[in-house]
Amino acid sequence: MTTTMNLDSANSSNSNLDGNVFYEMLIHSRQIVQGQYELHKDDALNANRENSERAGMATHMADIGSENNRQELELQLLSEEGDILRLIDEAIERLEDDCYGECLDCGDQIGEARLMVKPYAMYCVKCKGIREANDGENPFV
């Protein structure tokens, strides 16, 4: 497999992408994720407060356990949403830099169908698969 980038084909296939459509999608996704992020942030803070109140009253350990789990879940969601927000911002930057839709690993065009589902995708399906099989790394780049 050659990793030489074919600039001509990358450029011509990129011109098929309507940047405005993806820009709208990214802005829209950003609003949704930002909303969820705020929601979960509040939930995580509330769960934390409820926890310390309950712990102080030394009530059912089982209840405290499930509250801890809930908070863990909220925090996990929170960090995932934070990650997605960062990815969305980076995708918007790539749109502005005119290199949106190119796989960051191989430079190939990321499929439009994939971008429609995940407009902040950084890698083509092939490179994503390679990374998933190698603990998030791509040994070929």
Min dist. Cβ of residue 16 to Zn ion (A): 17
Residue 127 contacts Zn ion per CB under 5 A: yes
DSSP one-letter string for 75-137? HHHHHHHHHHHHHHHHHHHHHHTT-TTB-TTT-PBPPHHHHHH-TT--S-HHHHHHHHHTTT-
Q: Which stretch binds Zn ion (CB under 5 A): 5-13, 23-31, 84-92, 98-106?
A: 98-106
Among 87, 103, 115, 121, binds Zn ion (CB under 5 A): 103
Q: Which is nearer to Zn ion, 95 or 127 (CB)?
A: 127
Q: Is 121 in the site for Zn ion (CB under 5 A)?
A: no
- State both tokens at 1: 């497999």
Q: Is 124 in the site for Zn ion (CB under 5 A)?
A: yes
Angle at 134 between CA 131 and CA 140, to 5 degrees: 65
Torsion region of 77: left, alpha or beta (phi above 0 gives left; psi -120 to 50 gives alpha): alpha
User: What type of residue is 63?
Assistant: D
The residue type found at 127 is C
Q: Which of 74, 81, 102, 105 binds Zn ion (CB under 5 A)?
A: 105
Per CB under 5 A, does 106 bind Zn ion? yes
> Least distance (Å) from Zn ion to the CB of residue 127?
3
Interface with Zn ion (CB under 5 A): 103, 105-106, 108, 124, 127
